[in-house]
Amino acid sequence: MSALDFYVHVAVCGEVLGVGLGAGPDAWEAALGATCLDVPGGGLLRRDYGLVEINFSPDRPGRQGRMSCFGFGVKIQRLLYDRSPSTVPSPLSREYGEFAPRAPFEELRTAILALGHTVELDKHNTSSDMDCYRVSASAARIHVVADPDPYGAGDPDPDGHQGGDVWSLDVW
């Protein structure tokens, strides 16, 4: 398996190592490990594993103290500048191998299409510097760098993000 296989699975199935929307912090910890940064605030919890970031909110009334995932993201953009081993949780490295600092959108789109899904431009969530794509029958959105020099500085970082790089996969 490869990092591309991981990205395709997230985009099509909306899960990471068997956990996804609705799962509690304990389920995510069982899948990705205990090495993370918890950021509570406003009654919510953001759990940051580097490559994967999960958002939790309190469950319905009557389930005191329980939280569940209402959204998560695979933050591929972090791999370009943070190459420390802890950026990719070790369970993901064991399952999928090495994660390259870039993920070309065309490769991801081709793999998703091969599984019979469609990938459509989400015009409502696209901006001048970032395109957003929706995967059919999935809650996933793929954010792709459209303009690596959005502020017109005229000198985009040649080692930085390039047009066509996947920025993130988000499931909400």
Model confidence pLDDT, tens digit, residues 111-136: 999 999 999 999 998 888 899 999 99
> What is the average pLDDT score of the chain?
93
For residue 61, pLDDT beyond 70: no
- The pLDDT of residue 127 is 87
**Amino acid identity, position 133:** Y
DSSP string, 103-134: -BHHHHHHHHHHTT--EEE-GGG--SSEEEEE
Q: Which of 132, 136, 73 is nearest to 105 (CA)?
A: 132
68: pLDDT confidence band, cut at 50, 70 and 90? very high
Q: How confident is the model at residue 159 (pLDDT cuts 50, 70, 90)?
A: confident
What pLDDT sits at residue 62?
54
pLDDT (0 to 100) of residue 21: 97
**pLDDT for the residue 23:** 97
**C-alpha to C-alpha distances, 102 to 33, 142, 164, nearest whole angstrom:** 24, 14, 10
Statement: the pTM of the whole predicted model exceeds 0.75: yes
State how beta strands 44-48 and 52-58 pair: antiparallel
Over residues 80-116, the pLDDT tens digits come to: 989 888 999 999 999 999 999 999 999 999 999 999 9
Phi, psi of 52 (to 5 degrees): -115, 135
Query: Domain range spanning residue 144?
Result: 3-171
| Domain count for the chain | 1
* Residue 67, helix vs strand vs coil: strand
